[in-house]
Amino acid sequence: MATNLQIDDKLIQTAVQLGGHRTKKEAVTQALVTYNQHLQQIKVLELFGSIEYENDYNYKDQRSKI
């Protein structure tokens, strides 16, 4: 899918150089991958403390039943 974006050229050039990318497209793609991973990590962190579990659950017993 072709997309036209107006992005600060200095930012793109810096990202290309720092990331060792050959093209602007590679730099933008990597930036989006990193951004998406960051957002997914935030969602996982939001789960901490919200999931109930049984105190007497023994994961080792579960492994031996497989």
Distance CA 6, CA 8 (A): 7
The DSSP code sequence of 8-38 is -HHHHHHHHHHHT-SSHHHHHHHHHHHHHHH
Question: What's the pLDDT band for 65 if we cut at 50, 70, 90?
Answer: low
pTM over 0.85: no
Q: Which two tokens stand for residue 31?
A: 């930036």
Distance CA 9, CA 54 (A): 54
- For tokens 């290309």, the residue is 16
C-alpha distances out from residue 10 to 29, 48, 61, Å: 17, 39, 57
Task: Give the model's pLDDT for residue 25.
Answer: 94
Task: Give the model's pLDDT for residue 59.
Answer: 80
Residue 66 has pLDDT above 70, yes or no: no
